[in-house]
């Protein structure tokens, strides 16, 4: 169970740090490492997300009418933000943040998420936290500076991802496949992920519960968050001792990224 208030508090902290880092960017048109965006476009994506979530929390339509073409939906969102320079975008993030957090805090369940999917409000908040943490990582890597992600924040983001995964199945890749994965986050929660008949079902495990699984993933939360969003390779995570896979069919864990569409 994700705590809505805690997720909102951590989103506020991460967004504030992102804005502060963005203010140090010397060139709005610098390409972001690993992405097709400039620094300006990355900042406008983060800003547009805050504005869009506030509008959605107050009954507005989803920013994405479907979950199939994230790149196109993101491009429209970025283009809709009038701010261009990093300083102006950072100021707008700081201004928008309190309004978005208040919208999250006061809205009734459920949250009408992207693609018309209804989710708990806390899931939307924690999911947005994950997006902000990852894009802070992108920006810091581009500016060659440090960006820290608290493992507890990564666990909040991963809890949201595990809730959303059932809506993000790549049905073409999942056709005919059956697998069960057990995920243990170090110093945190454990989950069972089961794929059958093209659908993922995820549940949090009770302490000490160890159901049978094809593969067992034991992961440091920050590394697993970055690996899941293609910011760290599985090989790098394994060589650093951040992610370990065991079980009778450990190779099936590598299929997870192919079975889920990253928005």
Q: Report residue 120 as tokens.
A: 């708990």
Distances (CA, A) of 24 to 7, 31, 60, 144, 156: 26, 15, 33, 11, 28
Note the pTM of the prediction, 2 decimals: 0.94
Write down the domain spans for the chain.
Answer: 4-163, 168-259
Q: Report residue 261 as tokens.
A: 């569409």
What pLDDT sits at residue 21?
A: 98
For residue 231, count CB atoms less than 10 angstroms from its CB and return exposed for 0-12, middle for 13-18, buried for 19 or more. middle
pLDDT at 171 over 90: no
203 DSSP β-pair partners:
192
Assign a CATH topology to domain 168-259.
Nonspecific Lipid-transfer Protein; Chain A (3.30.1050)
Contact 202, 162 (CB under 8 A): yes
d(C-alpha 254, C-alpha 233), whole Å: 11
pLDDT at 260 over 90: no
8-state DSSP, 61? P
What pLDDT sits at residue 75?
A: 94
What pLDDT sits at residue 256?
A: 87
Q: Report residue 109 as tokens.
A: 């369940």
27: phi then psi, degrees, rounded to nearest 5: -140, 115
pLDDT in tens, 173-195: 888 889 999 999 999 999 999 99
Report the phi/psi class of residue 214: left, alpha or beta, with left for phi > 0 and alpha for psi in -120 to 50: alpha
What is the second-level CATH architecture of the domain 4-163? Up-down Bundle (1.20)
Mean of per-residue pLDDT scores for the chain:
95
Q: How confident is the model at residue 1 (pLDDT cuts 50, 70, 90)?
A: confident
What pLDDT sits at residue 192?
A: 97
Contact 25, 143 (CB under 8 A): yes
Domain 168-259 in the same topology as domain 4-163: no
What pLDDT sits at residue 66?
A: 84
Q: How confident is the model at residue 163 (pLDDT cuts 50, 70, 90)?
A: very high
What pLDDT sits at residue 257?
A: 84
pLDDT in tens, 84-143: 999 999 999 999 999 999 999 999 999 999 988 999 999 999 999 999 999 999 999 999
pLDDT in tens, 202-225: 999 999 899 999 999 999 999 999
d(C-alpha 162, C-alpha 8), whole Å: 18
């Amino acid at each position: 169970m994700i705590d809505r208030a805690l997720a909102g508090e951590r989103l506020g902290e991460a967004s504030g740090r992102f804005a502060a880092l963005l203010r140090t960017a010397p060139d709005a048109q610098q390409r972001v490492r690993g992405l097709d965006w400039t620094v300006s476009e990355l900042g406008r994506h983060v800003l547009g997300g805050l504005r869009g979530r506030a509008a959605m929390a107050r009954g507005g339509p989803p920013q994405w009418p479907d979950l199939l073409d994230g790149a196109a939906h993101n491009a429209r969102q970025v283009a809709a933000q009038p701010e261009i320079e990093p300083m102006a975008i950072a100021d707008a993030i700081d201004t928008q943040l309190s309004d978005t957090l208040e919208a999250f805090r006061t809205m009734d369940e459920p949250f009408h998420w992207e693609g018309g999917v209804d989710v708990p409000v806390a899931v939307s908040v924690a999911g947005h936290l994950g997006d902000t943490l990852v894009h802070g990582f992108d920006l810091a890597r581009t500016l060659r500076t440090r960006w820290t992600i608290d493992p507890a924040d990564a666990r909040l983001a991963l809890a949201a991802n595990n809730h959303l995964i059932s809506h993000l199945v790549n049905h073409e890749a999942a056709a005919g496949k059956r697998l069960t994965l057990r995920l243990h986050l170090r110093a945190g929660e454990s989950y069972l992920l089961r794929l059958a008949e093209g659908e993922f079902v995820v549940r949090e495990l009770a302490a000490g519960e160890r159901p049978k699984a094809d593969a067992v993933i034991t992961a440091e939360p920050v590394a697993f968050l970055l690996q899941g969003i293609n910011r760290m390779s599985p090989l790098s995570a394994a060589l650093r001792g951040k992610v370990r896979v065991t079980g009778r069919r450990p190779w099936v864990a590598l299929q997870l990224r192919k079975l889920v569409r990253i928005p």
